[in-house]
Amino acid sequence: MAVSLTKGGNVSLSKEAPNLKEILVGLGWDARSTDGSDFDLDASLFMLGENGKVRSDADFIFYNNLRSSDGSVEHTGDNRTGVGEGDDEAIKVDLAKVPANVSRLSVSVTIHEAESRRQNFGMVSNAFIRIVNQADNREIARYDLSEDASVETAMIFGEVYRSGAEWKFKAVGQGYKGGLGPLARNFGVNA
Amino acid sequence: MEIVRGQKLKLRDVAASSEFEVAIDVDGGCAVDTSCFGLDGDGRLSDSRYFIFRGQPESPCSSITRNGSGSFSLNLSTLPSEVRKIVFVVTVDGEGGMSSIGQGRVRILVDGDERLVFPFFGRDFPSERAVMAVELYFKDVWRIAAIGQGFSGGLRAVLDHFGGDEMPVPPPPLKVILSKVTLEKRGESKRIDLSKRDSPAPVHINLQWDEAEGGKRGLWGRLSGRASAVDLDLGCMYRMKNGDCGVVQPLGDSFGSKSSAPYIFLDKDDRTGAASDGENMYVYRPDDIDLMVIFAMIYEGTAEFSSVNGRVTLRDGRDFEIVVPLNNPDGGHRFCAVARVERDGNGVRITKDEMYFAGHRECDSHYGFGFNWKVCRK
């Protein structure tokens, strides 16, 4: 039974799934049921050091940079409508391969062309982030944003982080103004 | 407090009371109508009585009441627990789209005191003809969400959205009679303000009667070819504002026209749909009428008006419905001037006459149209 988190809550992935090696970070949302432009949500992952910044621009994993240079993080690709059951976008992480000087993996979602399409997260239904154990496809933790979805166009959904020898997951649910560019710069990317 | 599209709040942070008003208005650009849907936990309209609109202004529990266009009174404490979401919808009435409204707003008021406002903008609705403005929904507590999304397909698309395949009975279309009266006595009248009429539909005049043996004449009787003991004809004498006079009636095949003067049409062959009962005549330009006398005539059969229970109904399917029963029949005559329609300012006045005459000529001389009559047979 997966742990269901609320905003700010965290869970030890290592305790929930002993011998955890590879995880899948799944993100989903409902396709737009009303008329108008589709909701095109893009997932990104920032590999952050102790200082909360990327070590280099290569640590910014997104639709134009699907794999980290060390191979520990792999984005499975872009979904442009949210159509279909389950995860709409997913990022695979081989925890064992994550370099020691990366202490946090921050997972964000931005709305593509949100400004011109006049969209925000509050208009998107049933957005979630979940952590799945790749070894047995079991869902370890899940965070449904629902009421926490902000009226901003970028959101930090959650983060996977080191806590001593363990890996933990935290439900962040924090909106960020301005979209992917400002968010990336906030994490030290030269975007 | 002002909220923006996509924003969600706990209702108690806005209004501590479970009784409040939801008021919706738009600045203009096109005429709009408002309705409200009480949905189940799956977001379905599983009970069509919770589609609250002009024709059904109150939920069975009285917890949702439409006070008039754009105002709903709510009492969440008496709402059945099956209703978990209440969506307020703005639809375009007639032509145009929501893009032309400029700005509109939804307000939550407690005892007339504004607690929350959600402004929405026409520029957000390029093709929409129906917009879900806000929704109240129950998730641990009652909450409000500013939706501001809609459908170019109008109210029909909203119904599909909430109903899908599972909707047991589609709710009735927007067919609402604002004014429904029966003119019981001679001389009683009803004025229709045509300038405020918001329906483009023609005025439908229907004549019905019962078969002499007591059976109601209906579609089946016609289809089965059962000989009717009575055959009543519906017709009218008219004088338009431009002075043109004429008669529309089956006799002499004077059925009129839908698309040219006099824009009065006797639909003798309409035997389908809801208008299949009785005789039907349509007035497409009621505002052009100076005087119109609606008459009924017994053409064949041995019956008299005293045995057929005749009644004429004028309606446009939306703004008014006026029933004129022929309840003072004169046994001797087969021609009845049922009612007259006269110009009255920006509208028309419909007066029950129910006067019986020997025939057309006598009727004409009473009203003073001044026709030349000749003997004619169908």
Domain ranges of chain B: 8-166, 179-367
- pLDDT given for residue B372 in this prediction: 80
Question: Average pLDDT, whole number, for chain A?
Answer: 92
The answer to whether B154 touches B129, Cβ cutoff 8 Å, is yes
Size of interface A-B (CB pairs under 8 A): 48
The yes-or-no answer to whether B8-166 and B179-367 have a common fold is yes
- pLDDT given for residue B168 in this prediction: 41
The answer to whether B20 touches B108, Cβ cutoff 8 Å, is yes
CA distance A55 to chain B (A): 35
- Supply B39's token pair: 């949905």
pLDDT in tens, A61-89: 999 999 999 999 999 987 776 666 688 99
- B177 versus B245: the higher-pLDDT residue is B245
pLDDT in tens, B94-136: 788 999 999 999 999 999 999 999 999 999 999 999 999 999 9
- pLDDT given for residue B371 in this prediction: 84
Whole-angstrom distance between the N-terminal and C-terminal Cα of chain B?
72
pLDDT band at B164; cut points 50, 70, 90: very low
Domain ranges of chain A: 3-186
> Which residues 60-119 on chain A approach chain B with CB closer than 8 angstroms?
118
- pLDDT given for residue A146 in this prediction: 83
Give, in order, the Cα–Cα distances in Å from B117 to each of A14, B8, B10. 47, 13, 14
Query: Average pLDDT, stretch B170-199?
Result: 72
- Mark yes or no for CB contact B6/A35 under 8 Å: no
The yes-or-no verdict on residue B275 having pLDDT over 80 is: no
The domain A3-186 is classified under which CATH number: 3.40.640.10, 1.10.3720.10, 3.40.50.300, 2.60.60.30? Answer: 2.60.60.30
ipTM over the 0.95 cut-off: no
Point out the residues of chain A with pLDDT beneath 50. none
d(CA A87, CA A66): 17
Question: Average pLDDT, whole number, for chain B?
Answer: 84
* A interface test, pick of B1, B8, B91, B129 with most A CB neighbours within 10 Å: B8
- pLDDT given for residue A70 in this prediction: 95
Strand, helix or coil for residue A93: strand
Long-range contacts for B59-65 (Cβ within 8 Å, ≥24 apart)? B64/B36, B64/B38
- Supply B339's token pair: 């009612």
- Mark yes or no for CB contact B6/A34 under 8 Å: no
> Which residues 88-127 on chain B approach chain A with CB closer than 8 angstroms?
123-124, 126-127
CA B317 to chain centre: 3
CA-wise closest residue to A175 among A143, A146, A152, A158: A152
Identify all chain B residues contacting A121, using CB atoms and an 8 Å cutoff: 6
Residue type for B155, please? Answer: L
pTM: 0.62
* A interface test, pick of B1, B2, B7, B90 with most A CB neighbours within 10 Å: B7
CA-wise closest residue to B139 among B41, B25, B18, B246: B41
pLDDT in tens, B212-235: 544 444 444 344 444 455 678 899
The yes-or-no verdict on residue B59 having pLDDT over 90 is: yes
d(CA B170, CA B156): 10
- Supply B374's token pair: 């000749």
CA B122 to chain centre: 28
Strand, helix or coil for residue B366: helix
Strand partners, A154: A110, A176
The answer to whether B272 touches B264, Cβ cutoff 8 Å, is no
- CATH placement of domain B179-367: 2.60.60.30
- pLDDT given for residue B229 in this prediction: 58
CATH superfamily of the domain spanning B8-166:
sav2460 like domains (2.60.60.30)
Identify all chain A residues contacting B153, using CB atoms and an 8 Å cutoff: 35
